Structure 1
Amino acid sequence: MKDRSDQPGLPLPTPRKQGPFAALRSSFLAGLVVIAPIGITVWLIWTLTGWIDSWVLPMVPYRFRPEHYIGINLRGVGVVFFLLFTVVIGWLAKGYVGRSLLRLGEQIVDRMPIVRSIYGGLKQIAETVLSEKEARFDRACLIEYPRRGLWAVGFVAGPAKGEVGRQVPGDMMAVFLPTTPNPTSGFLLFIPESDVHFLNMTVEDAAKLIISAGLVYPGRPDLSLQENIDGKSTVS
């Protein structure tokens, strides 16, 4: 089909003017794009601080609260008390007396059948996630899941260790495959290292991609999916 601009004597098509309702709708959507992230972020922070206050403030004596002196219930005071309390506990846990008390408490908990399993699992998770010595989930990757030809974004936890590493032949990688839109749940998969294709995007960018259900593609636009699969995009 020929372009009408190449034919002499034919008028060029004029762009359709936007009506007042369409312009109003466009402005509303543009404003919503700006307001929604800010409003949701403020609401989450406000709700989280209120939830922490509701747990912490009842355990703080009234004479130590600001409303005892100024008569105003300030939101976020419980968060401040929680942070100070956590810092003090961490400082005490590093000392000899704190370590001795902690070992004594763990020995008592270890004698409780159900409690020791819950405490031991939570402690191991906390030490793994909050450890300052070794980074976790520092690489995003692509794996073929749930079958060949279908690709999923995952987070590399590291090489398989312990009994899993001894039982499974070859070099295996532990990959956490999160679900959409909640990346805190998912599947733990042990995959041959040759089948793990590392991505150049950060873990934060991969999380955005997962949470948005594929609507947000952060990272470098000059790298295609096929380049990542072929291994041209690697983590330095």
Structure 2
Amino acid sequence: MSSWRRDVASGLVVLVPILVTLFVLNWLYAKVAELPVVRTLPPYYGVPVAIVVFVMLVLSVGYLMRTTVGRLFERGLDSAMNHVPLIRVLYNASKLAVETALTGTEDLQKPVRLETWPGINMTAFKTGQTTADGKVVLFMPTAPNITTGFVIEVAPDRIEETGESVEEALTRILSAGFAEDEHAQGVEVPVEEAVADAGRESDAGTDVSTDGSGDPD
């Protein structure tokens, strides 16, 4: 991926969630300000009352999300949004932007790589927790929907540090890999090349063994 295309993708992943969040907040505030009870108030009372009503609305929705009905609604909304190719990226990025602004990313430890299959690495995050037998608990998100994933327990020696920040790893996951940094650590070797190298090493080992045994004649 060229440098300018990577920069554009990274910029969109950062800016679009912010713009979408601001648009939604502005739309909600405008709807609250248009309520009859708010419009009948004097101008110097209208804005404070609209802000109070908006905050109460946010708190009410937040409380609803803690109930079974709220969780079912959120799960259904996530499922619906993640079935639309472009909307799912914007939706998850916006959701991450709000969660990051309110809670920060300190709860997520440094991202790591985990070799799930030979030659295949996946990005995961340390949770800061360990099991009774000494295994490290990781959260491996899916892409681009980072609200779902897998909680896995692995031995510490199977984990490889990436040397990147949480924001960089989340940007790559949210962009489905299109914002991958060209200077990221690690070099991917094509499967065909790896197999060919293994074959050459095997042939070389056979030749050395034959030469070492000497000619029986």
TM-score of the aligned structures, taking structure 2 as reference length? 0.47
TM-score of the aligned structures, taking structure 1 as reference length? 0.44
- More contact order relative to length (CA 8 Å, sep ≥ 6): 2
